[in-house]
Amino acid sequence: MTVHAIKLTSLAHGGGCGCKLAPSVLQDLLSSVPRNNVYSQLLVGTETSDDAAVWQLDDKTCIIATTDFFMPMVDDPFDFGRIAATNAISDIYAMGGTPIMALAILGMPVDKIAPEQVRRILEGGAHVCTAAGIPVAGGHSIDCPEPVYGLAVIGLCRPEELRRNADAKPGDAIILTKPLGVGIYSAAIKKGALAQAGYDDLIATTTLLNRVGAELAKMPDVHAITDVTGFGLLGHGLEMARGSGVTLRIRLDDIPLLPNAAALAQKGFVTGASHRNWASYGNSVTLPRDLPEWRCHLLTDPQTSGGLLVACTRDKAASVTRFILDAGYPAARIIGHAEAGPAAIRFE
């Protein structure tokens, strides 16, 4: 039987990190799962919804482990592989670590997708892993109704360089390293409404490795890091606020956006995940009066391979931001600060 090339997004009901379960659903599912705090070597588990698990091997070495996979948000198989791999590796950088090895996770509808397309997906993932300096050392594949690809990634860090999402301090500045709008752009792709320039912007940001996280973790003034993915800026910011026991105050006008994100959001190009995120987190956010709905969707827009959210000492924020800009993240901005108060976010 000959299987011809087909648009990947036509085979999937969702795409990218927008495929995640709604935060409220995930919290309910995990509520009865036993905590693992009986293991003293397990420095980071599920307690604070952090980006990866961390096990302290000895007084000099921590092992970081994560996995991430999803359905395609773009039709080009090589680009899909690159985005998925970049996104999976990001969790290691968000913990302050350096990746050392990856395993591929592959599920494909073998009766619907051409072998050449699957090969290109794997090649895209391997391309990014090579750029990150790690091998794809193995993996697992299944016949699956919808195309799925991602990685399990192992990394290392020194204990003093571990950065969690739960260590922001009152007074810290909050920095975002990449622009928002990835989910909005993917919704436009689904409806054939994203121009080539927009697609190029999408690929540029989603395939930009967050390797700067490993460098930021060496700075004592950087207290907390997390990456912004499927739960949007609001969801992952709220995880930082809850874990740290602080209120985040975020300036709406300082949030970096992809060039056409606002215009597309105003035209209704939003994902179902954006609505689910708002339903899960909306009661923990304070917004300016009469904020238009499209701006709310920018805050809950699911970011696939999004940027890092960084909390650092306020008087060092400008120099840390310059470091991030010089490292190749042109959209990096200081977007707010943390203060003592209830675990919540106030947008101004």
| 160 token code pair | 């003093």
Question: 57 burial class (0-12, 13-18, 19+ CB within 10 angstroms)?
Answer: exposed
The 10 Å Cβ neighbour count of residue 3 is: 15
Catalytic residue among 17, 62, 129, 296: 17
53-56 β-sheet, strand order: 42-44, 53-56, 62-70, 148-157, 98-108, 136-143
The residue behind tokens 């509808």 is: 109
The 10 Å Cβ neighbour count of residue 348 is: 12
Cα(56)–Cα(166) distance, integer angstroms: 18
The question of whether 17 is a catalytic residue gets the answer yes
What pairing do the DSSP bridges indicate for beta strands 98-108 and 136-143? parallel
Cα(17)–Cα(84) distance, integer angstroms: 9
Element (H, E) at 50: none
Indicate which residues carry an active-site annotation.
17
